Amino acid sequence: MPKTLIFILITLPAAIAMQAQEIALLKYNGGGDWYSNPTALPNLIKFSNQQINTSIQEKAETVAPNDPELFNYPFVHMTGHGNVFFSEEEAMNLRNYLISGGFLHIDDNYGMDEYLRKELVKIFPDQDLKELPADHPIFNQQFKFPKGLPKIHEHDNQRPQAFGITFNGRLVLLYTFECDLGDGWENPEVHNDPQEVRMKALQMGSNILSYVFEN
């Protein structure tokens, strides 16, 4: 292994840990609408800063999977409806980011599941997504979800599931499926969700942020 790469891998955990609480949106290739839910992250940030005293910068930046700037963000969010593709370089950069202290939350906005699962194998070829139990700490932060992930939108009328990938005992990737948290974070007039449904989505989103920034 080149000495430069060894140095990067050793120093990246500290580099990520020292960053302020910042969020980025992942701009991936493949044709999927990574840019969907434009009001979601700003609303979640505002809610979390007010309700659980996070200090997240109000504007979520956009970052590509192979961008060195990825390592400036402790939390990266990914969403969309369609195709996802990671090149070998992008998959390696994402893997290095995740095992070095970063966290990726993927929220299926309906339709990305069949594409996403194939691409995640490129990042973690030796690990499978595993469903998180309802007693996982991510559901028991400031807001309690004793039944696990809440249902926000119906889609195929399946139960909501939260899948994760861990590395050295740390949850590094969370994939929320048949839930659509991002739609619940959007402005009320976008999907006309009842207030109690939007509140569940925002509270669960805040739990995710709390789990990432406090662990």
- The Cα–Cα gap between 66 and 211 comes to 25
- The Cα–Cα gap between 156 and 136 comes to 25
pLDDT tens column, 57-67: 988 999 999 99
Q: pLDDT value at position 16? A: 52
- The Cα–Cα gap between 55 and 134 comes to 28
- The Cα–Cα gap between 64 and 47 comes to 26
Whether residue 74 contacts residue 213, with contact meaning beta carbons closer than 8 Å, is answered with yes
- The Cα–Cα gap between 161 and 187 comes to 24
Q: What is the mean predicted confidence (pLDDT) over 115-123?
A: 97
Query: Residue 74 sits in which domain range?
Result: 3-214
Q: pLDDT value at position 186? A: 95
* 85 DSSP 8-state letter: B
Rounded (to 5) percent helix, strand, coil in the chain: 40, 20, 40
Looking up tokens 């309906």 gives 110
pLDDT tens column, 137-167: 999 999 999 999 999 987 777 899 999 999 9
Q: Which residues pair with 77 in a beta bridge?
A: 25, 105
Q: Is it the case that residue 118 has pLDDT exceeding 80?
A: yes
Who contacts 5 (Cβ-Cβ below 8 Å, separation ≥6)?
none
* 72 DSSP 8-state letter: G
Number of domains in the chain: 1
* 154 DSSP 8-state letter: -
Of the candidate ranges 45-54, 133-142, 190-199, the one whose mean pLDDT is the lowest: 190-199
Of 39, 41, 45, the C-alpha closest to 25 is 41
Q: Which residues pair with 164 in a beta bridge?
A: 130, 174
C-beta atoms surrounding 204 within 10 Å: 26
Is 0.85 topped by the overall pTM?
yes
Distances (CA, A) of 215 to 95, 102, 169, 170, 174: 19, 12, 12, 9, 14
21: exposed, middle or buried (Cβ count in 10 Å: 0-12, 13-18, 19+)? middle
CATH of the domain at 104: 3.40.50.12140
